[in-house]
Amino acid sequence: MSESYAPSNILSTPDQTATTSKFLKLVVSVENPYSILATEAGLDNVLGHCTNDLRFRTIQVFEGPATDQSLFRVAIHKTIVREESRYQLVLYDLYGRPHNKLVSFAPYHNAPGVSAACMITIEKSDAVLLSSSFHDSACAQALVTAEWPHQVRMVNSELSRALACDPAHLLGRPASALHGPATDVLRWCTLLQSACDGQADTAVICLATRAGAPVRAQCRCVPVVEEMNGKILYALLQLHPAPADDAAALPPPAQAPPDSPPSHDLPRRAASAG
């Protein structure tokens, strides 16, 4: 079957720069043995494999002991019924070294000689394992679900102290419970979306104590998986002291009632080891 794809082993992507290494695109068949039909135009290699050498090969070239081969194949096969998906997978390079990659699967219907194929997009993954995500006790942290409304599942004592609230006030509530009148909601949503897309991101955010006092913090949002191969299920929020020169980038806080505590930055001792 591979021979029928020989004349078109290059995937043309005129709307994207093919030489970038941020995204690696492949088209593969949706039936066993999942042959590689095409690679992105202008792409020199995929995980160290020369694109010319990938011709007539199968996805097995990227698999190793830690790869969930069943998940890999099921995701490809489900694109037949137009089901798109995205997982973190452990893929192997030419030298047998494992890499955590975010892999997206989508239907592809332009491959010559076939009625359907699968477009695979490979990019870096910043995800950490759930079992190790809460080990850094030197900064304020909260674990929220990746799905909207990003329910708060865990908080540590540093976060409770920084926001002057009991953990019971936050657990089970949407992540917006951390907001205050001065929170830049667009910036906050962008942080969470980046984590849901497998990429860690950082921004200065103005949150609030339970009493409503603004708290400036540098928030790092990290994707979290339960297993090395699987969906991104959570986002880890890590709060550090905000750089002083970022104050101008934040919206002005709303007028607080006379009896409200004054606004403050996240205490620097909370991030002394982070």
- Residue 17 CA to residue 32 CA, distance in Å, equals 31
Residue 96 has pLDDT above 80, yes or no: yes
Residues with Cβ < 8 Å from 81, sequence gap 6 or more?
none
Q: Please, what is the end-to-end C-alpha distance for the chain in angstroms?
A: 54
* pTM (predicted TM-score): 0.77
- Residue 181 CA to residue 151 CA, distance in Å, equals 20
Q: For residue range 216-274, what is the model confidence (pLDDT) as tens digits?
A: 999 999 999 999 999 999 999 999 988 876 554 444 444 444 444 444 566 555 433 33
**106-140: burial string, b at 16+ Cβ within 10 Å, e else:** ebbeebeebeebbbbbbbebbbbebeebbeeebbb
Domain annotation for the chain: domains and CATH numbers = 2-125 (3.30.450.20), 129-267 (3.30.450.20)
Cα–Cα distances in angstroms (integers) from residue 235 to residues 78, 148, 158, 232, in the given order: 26, 11, 18, 8
**H helix intervals, the chain:** 69-77, 157-162, 167-170, 185-196
Q: For residue range 55-79, what is the model confidence (pLDDT) as tens digits?
A: 779 999 999 999 999 999 999 999 9
From 107-116, 140-149, 219-228, the region with the lowest mean pLDDT: 107-116
